[in-house]
Amino acid sequence: MHIFAVAEHRKGELAPISFELLNLANSIKGSGKSNAIVISKSTTAFAGQLAKYADKVWAIEDEAFENYNPESYIDAIFEMLRGREPALLLIGDTSFGREFAPCLAVKLSAPVQTDVVGVDLSDGVNISRYISQGKVMIDMKLRKSMFYVLTVRQKVFKNGPEVRGNIEVVKAKNTIVPKRRFVKYIEPEVGEVDISKEDVLVTVGRGIGDFSKMKIVEELAKLIGGVVAGSRPIIDYGWLPKDRQVGISGKVVNPKLYLGLGVSGASQHVMGMNGSELIIAINKNPEAPIFEVAHYCVIGNILEIVPAIINKLG
């Protein structure tokens, strides 16, 4: 089976998910090969970066691909795949992928699964994904087909070997006139920090009690070289800006250290941070769900424990 990872890029930069997809492809390819597909007006720079992690890069070039258009992308990939079945297509579970993948699956008459966290090709196409807001992980075997389309959760397949493959430039064969057109990028407001890129996060939850206690959280974060983030209740209270929210409805994070203070561990929050390298949780409730994913669990009052940590570090 051919395995293709569809690269995602914006404003001249490849998204990290592009390389994560190739890490997954390389881990499941067996004796086969990993392939990257990149679509752009000019693919030279992108293709060179992707070739470090793919056995082959298919660089689809055309003036029409200066900006992302799902109709054009789907048509270009469909034409490129002719005669190369069976094939498994990996697409990032991003706003790009969630729009693009189901439409491509329909075009290919292929089964599609979203937000995948595991793939096994030893006996057909088997995938793992979470359901019930992250409370249950299930394994599924997809029906037999010539093509399969999967969207893959970000920051799951972060590591993989370099491959150093070759590049083939493909001239697009456009067969449609898109019904939509690109107008402009509307950028979100830029916060003072991007918690998805921080190595140390001190995340506060409802258990902090009241806003006056946020001061000691800021002090602790500064001492350990981190920044303060929050669970959804803290954001809803207005104690931290929206861009500091950890969780599926906020930002997915994977810091080297996640320190949770009074965070109960709702499923949507846990799904946004359970990829952290080291998770330490402090909560006075011994039944708090956060303890199910934490590497170190401290049962106690954070308003007593945090000052003691600050005194020790100070």
DSSP assignment string, the chain: -EEEEE--EETTEE-HHHHHHHHHHHHH-TTS-EEEEEEES--HHHHHHHTTT-SEEEEEE-GGGSS--HHHHHHHHHHHHTT--SEEEEEESSHHHHHHHHHHHHHHT--EEEEEEEEE-TTS-EEEEEETTTTEEEEEEPPP-SEEEEEE-TTSS--------EEEEEE-------S-------PPPP-S--GGG-SEEEEE-GGG-SGGGHHHHHHHHHHTT-EEEE-HHHHHHTSS-GGGBBSTTSB----SEEEEES----HHHHTTTTT-SEEEEEES-TT-GGGGT-SEEEES-HHHHHHHHHHHH-
Range of lowest pLDDT (74-88, 89-103, 199-213):
74-88
Give the type of residue at 78: F
Q: Rounded to two decimals, what is the model's pTM?
A: 0.80
Per CATH, domain 195-313 is 3.40.50.1220: yes
Question: Residue 219: how many CB atoms within 10 A of its CB?
Answer: 17
Q: Per-residue pLDDT averaged across 269-296, rounded?
A: 93
Q: What are the residues whose beta carbons fall under 8 Å from the beta carbon of 178, sequence distance 6 or more?
A: 69, 71, 72
Residues of CATH 3.40.50.1220 domain(s) within the chain?
195-313
pLDDT tens, residue by residue, 36-63: 999 999 999 999 999 999 999 999 998 8
Tokens of 231: 């669970």
**What pLDDT score was predicted for residue 134?**
66
pLDDT band at 169 (very low <50, low <70, confident <90, very high): very high
* pLDDT-derived band at 162, boundaries 50, 70, 90: very high
Greater confidence (20 vs 176) lies with 20
Q: What is the predicted pLDDT for the residue at 189?
A: 67
Per-residue pLDDT band for 184 (boundaries 50, 70, 90) equals confident
Phi first, then psi, for residue 126 (nearest 5°) are: -115, 135
Compute, in degrees rounded to 10, the torsion defined by CA atoms 22, 28, 31, 33.
-20
As a whole number, mean pLDDT of residues 277-286 equals 96
Residue 152 pLDDT more than 80? yes
Ranges for all domains in the chain classified under CATH 3.40.50.620:
2-171
Task: Quote the pLDDT of residue 44.
Answer: 94
Mean predicted lDDT score pLDDT of the chain = 92
Could you give the angle at which helices 214-223 and 302-313 cross, rounded to 10 degrees?
A: 30
Q: Residue 191: is its pLDDT beyond 80?
A: no
pLDDT band at 121 (very low <50, low <70, confident <90, very high): very high
Query: In this predicted structure, what is the pLDDT of residue 232?
Result: 93
The answer to whether residue 132 scores a pLDDT higher than 80 is no
- pLDDT band for 173, please (50, 70, 90 cuts): low
Domain 2-171 superfamily per CATH: HUPs (3.40.50.620)
